[in-house]
Each structure stands twice: as structure tokens, then as C-alpha cells.
Amino acid sequence: MAATSSRRPAALLVLVAAAAAVVALAAAGDVELLEGRYPPLAPGLSFDFYKKSCPKAESIVREFLSSAVRQNVGLAAALIRLHFHDCFVQGCDASVLLDSTPTQPSEQLSPPNLTLRPAAFKAVNDIRARLEQACGRVVSCADIVALAARESVALVPLRRHCFVCFIYSSAHSK
């Protein structure tokens, strides 16, 4: 049993490193490299969905976030968390962004979502405004949240890597 538990941190480290490499390649725009290998795409999905309708979508998100995260590094974590909370219940549909109506309370009011940072919601709205100015109402809010989370991971790779290394080294120092 001790041998199995000592391999878990190493396996976690390999998994995180592989995920970071995929995110970095996707953020760098190496679509051709990814399409043939990882992750497998479901029919109808593509890495370059907005290539014709909004070709600068990813660069608009990346440019906005690189500036915003320099000013507030916590925004990266807030956007990743927002994406997680959006996807957790019934899929990644941007429903966490919706305000309450007279008959339906917003997901933002549910207890797990009460601590989502207002800065993340503001960043998504700011990105949406920039995308609409450049391309019209083409990019879905769900895709904006997903792109923002992906770019957030790509913008702070050293902090994430150091945290995983800390966990790994802590587990092996006992």
C-alpha cells in the first residue's frame, strides 16, 4: 500500500504537466499539432471554430487577460473557478452569468456560487464587449468563459507548477 500511495504524487505531477503542455500548445495556437493527438474531438467540434466568424477572438481574450492579470493575479484563479462553477451542475452553458428573473433566481445566488469574485464577472463582460465590438454577437458567453479560463491557466503556469511541485516534495519528504 505504501508503494501505491507514493506513486500517486508522481502520477499527479505527470498528469498536470501533460495538461499544462496541452494548454500551452493551444494557447500558442498550435492547432495542427493538437488536432491529431489530444484531446480527441467529438464530431462537430474544432479547435478553430471562430476562424472565419471572429478570427481574432482568442487574441482579444489573451490580450485583455494578460493586461488584467498583471494588475490582479487573483483574476486568473477567479476565472478558472467561474468556469468550474458554470460547468459543474448541468454543463458549460454560461448560466452562472445570468441574472435573476421575477420567477427564477440566478445561479449566482446559490450557496456555492456566493463567493465567486465580482472581478471575474466584470472581466467576462469586458471581454464580451471587446469581442462584440470586433465581431458582432458571434462568440457565445459559454465560449468566452472557457477561453478566459484557458488563457488564465496559460498566463500563470509557474505558480501552478510550483504549487504542484510543493505538494509532490512535501509528500516525499515525510
Point out the residues that are catalytic: 85
Percentages of the chain per state (helix, strand, coil), in multiples of 5:
70, 0, 30
Give the Cα-Cα-Cα angle 85, 89, 136 (nearest 5 degrees). 65
Return the exposure string of 24-47: e unless at least 16 CB atoms fall within 10 Å of the residue's CB, then b. ebbbeeeeeeeeeeeeeeeeeeeb
d(CA 171, CA 169): 5
Provide the grid cell at 168.
509532490
Provide the grid cell at 80.
478558472
* Cβ atoms of 75 and 120 closer than 8 Å: yes
Give the Cα-Cα-Cα angle 157, 108, 124 (nearest 5 degrees). 45
